[in-house]
Structure 1
Amino acid sequence: MLQVDPRSPVPPYEQVRSQVVAQVDAGQLRPGDRLPPVRRLAGDLGLASGTVARAYRELEAAGVVVTRGRNGTVVAATGDATEQRAQEAALVYLASLRRLGLGADDAVRLVRAVGDEQPRPA
C-alpha cells in the first residue's frame, strides 16, 4: 500500500515513485502486476491526477513499469531482452487462458504437456 506524507519535503510524485520502486525491489510487486489507474490512486492518496501521472511517467522512463493503453500500467519484465520477451509472451498467454476460464496452474500444465511432446531445439 502506498502512502504519501504531506509534511515530507520530498515531493508527492517522488514519494509514489520511490515506494513503487521499493516494492518492486522487495518482490512485493512482480513483473506483470498491474498498478492502480492514475485517477483511482490519486483519489486514494488525496493527490491530483497529474501528480500520480508524473510518478508513472518517471517509472516508465526508468523501465520499472510499462503502460499498455487500455490494459493499464504493469510492472515491467526484468532481466535480459530474451527474458523480457518471454515474460511478455507469458503474460499474453495467461490473459488468453483467463478469458477461457483457466488460470496460471492450467497454463503451466499445458506448457509442460506440449513441451514434453516437442523435441528440444539443437
Structure 2
Amino acid sequence: MELPLKIDKAGSTPPFEQLRMQLLAAVQNGALPAGTRLPTVRALAGQLELAVNTVASSYRALEKDGVIETRGRSGSFVAATGDPTTAQLQLAARAFAERAGQLGVAPRDALAAVRAALDAG
C-alpha cells in the first residue's frame, strides 16, 4: 500500500513526528479506516527514504496513543477503536454529563456552560 505521505527532511519538525502527525490525520479524516493494514516498517521506510528506526518510532508512538495496534507477525493495523481523539472526547463528555447531573444542573444549562467554555477558547 502506497500512502500519500510527504516528509520534509529540511523542516524543523523531526521526520518521525511528521510521519506520526500525517498518519494520525489520515485516521482522523477517514483516509485510513479502522482495520486498515499499514505498510511494514521496512517498506514504509523505503518508500519515504527514512531510517527504519524513524518509522518504528512513529508506529510505537501511534500504538501508545491507541491509534494503531501491532498484531505480531501479522503487522500493524489502524486500531478497531478508530480515532482516539473521538474516544477521549466521548469519555470527557460522559464525565461532564455525570457531574452536571450530580450537581442538579438541567441539560440545557449544562450545554450552555459548555458552549460558553468553548467560545472562551
Q: TM-score range by the shorter chain?
A: 0.5 to 0.7
Query: What is the CA-CA distance between 1:3 and the residue it aligns to?
Result: 1.2
Aligned-pair RMSD on alpha carbons?
A: 0.9
CA distance in 1, matches of 2:28, 2:14: 21
Instruction: Give the total of aligned pairs.
Output: 79
The partner residue of 1:66 within 63, 66, 69 is 69
Cα distance, 1:7 vs. partner?
1.3
CA distance in 2, matches of 1:3, 1:42: 12
Give distance in 1, aligned partners of 2:11 and 2:24. Answer: 18
Residue identity over aligned pairs, in percent, reads: 54
Specify the SS of the correspondent of 2:17. helix
What's the CA shift string for 1:56-96, capped at 9, x where partnerless? 000000000000011100000127xxxxxxxxxxxxxxxxx
Q: Is 2:10 aligned against 1:11?
A: no
Is 2:26 the counterpart of 1:23?
Answer: yes
Query: Any gaps of 5 or more consecutive residues in structure 2?
Result: 83-121
- For residue 59 of structure 2, the aligned residue among 56, 68, 86 is 56
Equivalent residue letter for 2:64: A
4+ runs deviating over 6 angstroms: none
For normalisation by structure 1, the TM-score amounts to 0.63
Structure 1 gaps of 5+ residues are 80-122
Q: TM-score, normalized by length of structure 2? A: 0.64
1:90 equivalent in structure 2: none
Q: State the distance in 2 between where 1:34 and 1:18 align.
A: 18
